[in-house]
Every structure is written in C-alpha cells, then in structure tokens.
Chains A and B, each alone.
Chain A
Amino acid sequence: MYRMLFLLSLLAFAGGAMAEDYTAGDLVITQVWARPTPPVASAGAAFLTLDNGKGPDDRLLSAQGDVSTTVELHTHHMENGVMEMRKVDDIPVPAGKTVKLQPGGLHVMLIGLKAPLVEGETFPLTLNFEKAGAVTVEVAVHQPPK
C-alpha cells in the first residue's frame, strides 16, 4: 500500500514537471514552450508540436494572445547560410502527420512583448485551427532542451 502511494507520488511529481498536453478536435498539442527573453527584447517565439494522428487534414490559421501586441505565424529557412524568416499565412497539419514548431523552423512569433518572458512562468495563447477550432494553451517558459 505504501509502495503504491510512493509510486503514485512519483508519478504526480513527474507530471508536474512536464508541459501539459492539449486536444483540439482530433489534434493533440504537446511541448508548448517559449524561450525566456532578455528584458530589452521586444520579440519572442513560441513552439509546439501538433499531432494529427487521427483527424482529417487541418491547418493552423492563426494564434492570439495578450502577451504581445502582435502574434504571427512564421517560418525560417536557411538559404546559403543565411537565416531568412518569413511570415506564413497558415501552417498545414496534414492527416496522419506530426508538425513541429521548433527553433530554427516554424514558430509562433510574438512581436512587441508587453513584458519579458520569464523562466518558470506560463502565458495563455489561443490557437485557431481551420477544422479543430480554437483552443487556448498555456505556454511554459523555459530554456531550450539541450
């Protein structure tokens, strides 16, 4: 019995340290995070993983939040060693695919941060999908995984 309680407490502890997972329709949204920003930085980026294992083709149309004056969907690509960042109209999430928004690639761009993103804190961000609809996620602010 005590052993069981111990295992349960371990599980609870592990759960607390992990970022929360969300669902929107058939989509599963995991690893929602943003990097801490220097106090003087006016831009930041949020990252997440979209798993569309079950649903039809979908698209992330936009993101909204009070964290910054503007929230846009952006992508990067490396062209001859030059990092180019561009706004994208939407991010396709094809059926059966997992789409990762991660450093150096797709990201939710936070322009005009109202306050710095502080390690250990979270902020809400609403994601609008074409089919799955809107879902509000809590973005965990932490250092990138090594």
Chain B
Amino acid sequence: MRNKPLLIIVVGILAIGLGIGLGQYFMPEGEPAKPQIGGIFLVPAKPVVDFTLSQQANQPFTLADLKGHWSLLYFGYTFCPDVCPTTLTTLNRAMALLAKQGQDKDVAVWMVSVDPQRDSLEKLKEYTAFFNPKFRGATGERGEIDKLAKEFGVYYQIHKPEPGSDYYLVDHSAAIIVINPQGELQAVLTDTGSADKLASDLLSIKGYFEKARS
C-alpha cells in the first residue's frame, strides 16, 4: 500500500501515453493548427440550412449563392447611422488589403437587412454600392431573416418608435459571418474594428481551409 501513489502516477503516465497514441491514430495527418482570429473559428465548419431571401433585381438569394466562393455576411439596416457604415467601410478597406495579395476575387460581401420594412432591395443596392460597388444587399420575409439569423447566432431587436415619431432603432449583432466555399459556417468575426486585423484573420481562415483540404 506504500506504493499506491507511485502506482497512480505510473497508471496516469500510461493513460496519457495511450491517449496521445490514440489521438495520433485517429487525427487525420497534418491537421493544420486552428487559426487564432478575433472571433470564433468552427472546426468542423457548420452546414447552413437552406433559406430564401431576395437580392437586387428581385432575384432570389439562397444557400446556392454562398457556394463556390467565400462569403462575408453582415446583418444591419440602412437607417443605421454609425456601426453599419463603420463596418462596411472597414470591410471595404480589408478587401483592398486582400486585393493587394490577390486574395479578394473569391470573397463576396453581403449586407443582410433585418429591417425589410424600410429597406427596399433598390435602397439596399445603392447603400451597399456606396461602400464598394461589389458589395451586395439582401433581405426578405421576417421568418427567413430570423431563420438565417438564428443559424448564425445573430441577434437583433427592432424597437418601437418613440411617441410622436415614426423613427425606430434596431439593436443588432455587429459580427461578420464567414461562410466557406462549401456554403458552411466557418467563422464568426467579432473583432471588426480594424481593416488590418480583418484582412489578416480572413487570410488565416482561407489558409486553414486550403491546408485542411489538401
């Protein structure tokens, strides 16, 4: 009984050894290190439920539009005076940084309006194009917006207008949703204040994806 602590240590070391061995056995070879980003990186990426919203020219916007390239989704509204313009400006600057490295061509940027009552598709088109002609806008029926928002963990709340006013505010998640070329949720970027950080996070995410597939 005197050697009980020693026995525990020996069994412990054996167990750890076995764990590492099994881990190496089951882990696919060359699994790249998870990128350190300003937000949440999902391994494995989460499949996204299909949805039907609308985009400019009254075309449908569905899961198919998120496949074959990277997509960055931002949920906002055009009456948003500060956070949405700030984020879209930062996204535009981040895209310019990606362009310098030839990494922008396969990245689409979408603003999904959670305020279809005030945001027509035409309005959204002009709004997003102001920040970058390639940025697109989408919105649709409340149920479909909610479905997508829930899918990405995006929260929003539309407030009632103040008495005597028809103007109302909307609280919303400021995160940028990153969808990989397979149309899966790959990351949620919450550190969206700097174009440099955003661009380097996107490069890390893309790099991981390429490595993991090769």
Given contacts A83-B83, A104-B82, A112-B167, contact A143 B89 (CB under 8 A): yes
Closest to B174 in A: A83
Q: How far is the CA of A44 from the CA of B78 in the complex (A)?
A: 10
Which of B83, B93, B126, B175 has the most chain A CB atoms inside 10 A of its CB?
Answer: B83
Chain B facing A: main interface SS: mixed
The total number of A-B Cβ pairs within 8 Å is 83
Of the stretches A33-41, A55-63, A88-96, A122-130, the one at the interface is A33-41
Closest to A43 in B: B81
Contacting pair A110 B89 (CB below 8 A): no
Given the contacts A38-B78, A45-B82, A143-B89, A70 and B167 also touching, CB distance less than 8 Å: yes
Q: Which residues of A (15-43) have their CB < 8 Å from a CB of B?
A: 35, 37-43
Q: Specify the chain A residue showing the minimal Cβ separation from B78.
A: A41
Instruction: For the complex, give the distance between the alpha carbons of A35 and B131 in Å.
Output: 12
Instruction: Tell me whether B127 and A83 are in contact (CB under 8 A).
Output: no
Contact of A82 with B127 in the complex, beta carbons under 8 Å = no
Query: Measured between alpha carbons, how far is A146 from B86 in the docked complex, in Å?
Result: 11
A41 → chain B, closest Cβ, in Å?
Answer: 6
Are A83's CB and B171's CB within 8 A?
yes
A45 in contact with B175 (CB, 8 Å): no
Contact between chains at B173 and A44 (CB < 8 Å): no
Q: With A38-B126, A38-B130, A39-B130 in contact, do A82 and B171 touch (Cβ < 8 Å)?
A: yes
> With A43-B80, A76-B82 in contact, is A85–B175 under 8 Å at CB?
no
* Alpha-carbon distance between A70 and B169 when the two chains are bound, in angstroms: 14
Q: B178 → chain A, closest Cβ, in Å? A: 15
Contact between B78 and A85, CB atoms less than 8 A apart:
no
Interface size (B, Cβ < 8 Å)? 31
Contact for A81 among B78, B86, B173, CB less than 8 A: B173
Q: A residues within 8 A CB of B174?
A: 78, 81-83
Across the interface, which residues of B come within 8 angstroms of A120, CB to CB?
none
| B190:A81 contact, CB within 8 angstroms | yes
Counting CB contacts under 8 A, is A66 at the interface? Answer: no
Q: A139: shortest Cβ distance to chain B, in Å?
A: 14
- Assembly CA distance A70 to B164 (angstroms): 12
Interface residues of A in 85-114 (CB under 8 A from B): 85-87, 103-104, 107, 109-112
Contact between A104 and B86, CB atoms less than 8 A apart:
yes
**Chain A contact residues, CB within 8 Å of chain B:** 35, 37-45, 70, 74, 76, 78, 80-87, 103-104, 107, 109-112, 143-144, 146
Residue contacts A-B, CB under 8 angstroms, 20 given: A37-B85, A37-B130, A38-B85, A39-B130, A40-B78, A41-B78, A41-B79, A43-B79, A74-B81, A76-B83, A81-B190, A82-B156, A82-B172, A83-B172, A83-B173, A85-B81, A104-B86, A107-B82, A109-B81, A146-B93
